[in-house]
Amino acid sequence: MLIFTFPEPGLSALAWIALVPLFMIIITASFSRTLLAAIVTGVLFYVVYLFWMKEYKHPLALSGGVFGVMVFWLGAVIISFFMYHSVPARGRALRGVRLVALVCGWFVIDYVKTIGYLAFPWGILGYSQYKNLALIQSASIFGIWGIDALILLCNASLAGLAVDILSRRAGEGRLPGVRRFILPVAVFFLVIASMAWGLAKLSEERRSTFTKKRIAMV
């Protein structure tokens, strides 16, 4: 799904669920399985996403680019894994805290790879929303990081909910209670609020653009 999130074809809606499978693996699998899944996912995604780098006519252009971003990709997965599992698993209320910790780990690496002269921000999910004019208006306040954080939180909350539901079907747990829906619902309302504010801002700009002005010629 990550491949289809960015141009082309630019199906930006997929960004909100693109990392759910990988986050589910981070939540449930061992470190070795998580690392293997991250390597396979990252290589497949970046080879396609960065295929344009072959235009540089250098034999190592594509492979070098993929290797460079894979360092950050694996760093994000590793930090997210340990931040999630470092939070105690006791109590249902802590599941949301663990998911937020997972997002923070990924978010930090997204930010780090944009720093300095060798910054390479390609692949940050926040940029996939360039067509969603209402949502990206919030970038005037929070920058791309606010949008990226919303998308990561959405993926993490859905991954946590999916794990709970699948555990129930496998007979390993109980049906998700109301508390399990707190984070997904909170993220949903944050997205709605952000889009509502963006629509209001766009509407205000349109009105100001078409306001009649009187001009006197002397």
Selection from 12, 20, 5 nearest residue 103 by Cα: 20
Q: Which amino acid appears at position 123 of this protein?
A: G
Rg over alpha carbons for the chain, rounded to the nearest Å, is: 20
What is the pTM (predicted TM-score) of this model? 0.85
pLDDT at 218: 59
pLDDT at 169: 67
Q: 128: which 2 tokens?
A: 């996939």
pLDDT at 196: 93
pLDDT at 39: 94
What DSSP string runs through 105-169?
HHHHHHHHTTSSTT---TT-GGGGGTT-HHHHTTHHHHHHHHHHHHHHHHHHHHHHHHHHHHHHH
pLDDT at 171: 61
pLDDT at 215: 62
Domain ranges of the chain: 10-204
Give pLDDT tens digits along the chain (218 positions): 788 888 778 788 999 999 999 999 999 999 999 999 999 999 999 988 888 887 777 777 788 888 889 999 999 999 999 999 998 876 555 678 889 999 999 999 999 988 888 788 888 999 999 888 999 998 888 889 999 999 999 999 999 989 888 877 656 555 556 667 888 888 999 999 999 999 998 888 777 766 555 665 55
pLDDT at 68: 86
